[in-house]
Amino acid sequence: MQKKKAGVFSFTCCEGCTVVFMELMNRHFFDYKSRFYFASFRHLKTGNKIQKMDFALIEGAISTASEKRKLLEIRKNAKKIIAIGSCAVTGMPSSQRNNFRPEIKKKIEKQIKQLHQLKTIEPLKKYVKVDLELSSCPVNAAQLEKAIEEL
């Protein structure tokens, strides 16, 4: 059986979903090692490049133009995108500033520009087709495990 090529990516978030996935990796290490090749996963290896993948697990919301470009490149190279966690699925809680009152938005405008942030923080589906969404913060381990088993 040929290994599935996978990528694990993180955008604007607390990275709690990656922690959940790493805990699953600990429990299923030999099984996952025999079934998946991690083409890109910065928590496991260096020199990561976006390349052709069977699937990409993505956590986090999109808050910068560079994140948006990277997401579009991932979409071009991944057969399936699985959005994991609330930030990736709904944008929240990362996108809370989208709902700030106008006077608060005015106050933080300078910092947003200095940090090269987009005007709003958005979920993945705003920019690309998402094949599966697993919400909650962090992602529910049982749901994530089931989705991985189905791959």
Q: What is the pLDDT of residue 46?
A: 82
Through-space distance between the first and last CA atoms of the chain, rounded to whole angstroms: 13
For residue range 70-89, what is the model confidence (pLDDT) as tens digits?
Answer: 999 999 999 999 999 999 99
pLDDT score at 26: 93
CATH number (domain holding residue 91): 3.40.50.700
For the entire predicted model, the pTM comes to 0.92
Strands 78-84 and 132-134: parallel
Q: Does 28 have pLDDT greater than 80?
A: yes
Arithmetic mean of pLDDT over the chain: 94
- What is the tally of structural domains in the chain? 1
- Which domain, by its residues, includes 21? 4-150
Residue 42 pLDDT class (50, 70, 90 cuts): confident
